Amino acid sequence: MSSFTKLPSGNWRAQVRRKGRYVSQSFRRRKDAEEWALKMERRVDRGESVSARRPDDINTIADLVDLHIADMLDMRKRLRRSKAYSLNKLRDDIGHLRFNQLDRERIIEFAKRRRDEGAGPVTIAMDVSYLKTIMLHASAVHGVQLDIDQVNLARVALSRLGMIGKGRERNRRPTQEELDLLIDYFEANDRQKSPMARIVKFAVATAMRQSEICSIEWSDVDERKHTVLVRDRKDPRNKDGNDQRVPLVDLTGYDAWQLLQEQRTNRKSKGRIFPYNSRSVGAAFRRACQELEIEDLHFHDLRHEGTSRLFEAGLQIEQVALVTGHKDWKMLKRYTHLSADMIVNFARMNQRV
């Protein structure tokens, strides 16, 4: 039921009470108030949200993407690069589809196009997962009626077709010879603006990601305790605010604290310690590997190597986690790579003691 009241200001207040729901809003003209009230009554009858934040026209997948992004920004939650990329792909590829056009077959067709573009099973799985996320968000927060079962059916089909799946654990570790080749290559390259040799050593010494290396600042270095604050570390369970104080140690064959002092001597700056674009660092690393004919080595493998060396130095899993930032200790088990030879050597050392 709707009621309309003329206010002392001359405006009209529309009030809608229907099926236990109540909403009101003021308008300059009574006609506008009546049109709005009718629209709200229809929303209530359809089980949709009557929130003022819900846009009047939500018809396509692109509308869902835009609504989700707007709500995230309104809650001051920034989109990470991978999620932003997936949402843009959804908008570009299937954004024109209306809700009633999005079925299992069209989702599978979208996945096949992504595969043909070169996307792997993990990337496609993320795209489909984000599609479900924006649909659930619109349904739960704004009451938009959507058939989410179509996404679930598509996921089952794509899994059986082998088009989506979990990533395989990567076990590639650089040899010391490969590291020496890379370091020598970068030190001999006068055209390289960023100190890539030092960055490579620092990556192994700290087990930091390249984005973390390129974001730490001098103001966050504790000179007395030999630590640095890494802000907003990656954590799948908690997207923001994961600041962590990381010890700068000499346990991996490279001294993290000494490398920091070398960087201070060679570059006088007050902001970022390594003020370089992380993508440029990755590109320089890839070029060096190509020229040196080092196959299948990624910059992220240096983090893997550093983590493995911390275990080999004798640190316990909880101690390694303080350096690497892993919140789930189960994730660290794949980095240990304990071999029979290592156990024998460890036993012999204990016998000598």
Catalytic residue positions, numbered: 209, 239, 300, 303, 326, 335
DSSP, collapsed to helix, strand or coil, labels residue 316 as coil
CA proximity to 334, closest of 111, 133, 173, 163: 173
DSSP, collapsed to helix, strand or coil, labels residue 225 as coil
Using the structure block, give the residue that is written with the tokens 């570390």: 233
CA proximity to 25, closest of 53, 65, 52: 52
Using the structure block, give the residue that is written with the tokens 């040196």: 292
CA pair distance 135, 140, nearest whole angstrom: 9
Taking CA 299 as the corner, what is the angle to CA 306 and CA 269, rounded to the nearest 5 degrees? 85
Using the structure block, give the residue that is written with the tokens 């049109």: 35
Farthest-apart Cα atoms in the chain, separation: 94
What is the number of alpha carbons within 13 Å of residue 12 lying toward its C-beta? 15
CA pair distance 262, 256, nearest whole angstrom: 10
CA proximity to 207, closest of 225, 228, 182, 223: 228
Beta strands in 153-269 (DSSP E): 221-222, 227-230, 244-247
Beta strands in the chain (DSSP E): 2-6, 12-18, 21-27, 221-222, 227-230, 244-247
* H helix count then E strand count, the chain: 14, 6
Using the structure block, give the residue that is written with the tokens 């050392």: 349
Residue 62 contacts by C-beta under 8 Å, 6 or more apart in sequence?
A: 91, 95, 96
Neighbours of 23 (CB within 10 A): 20
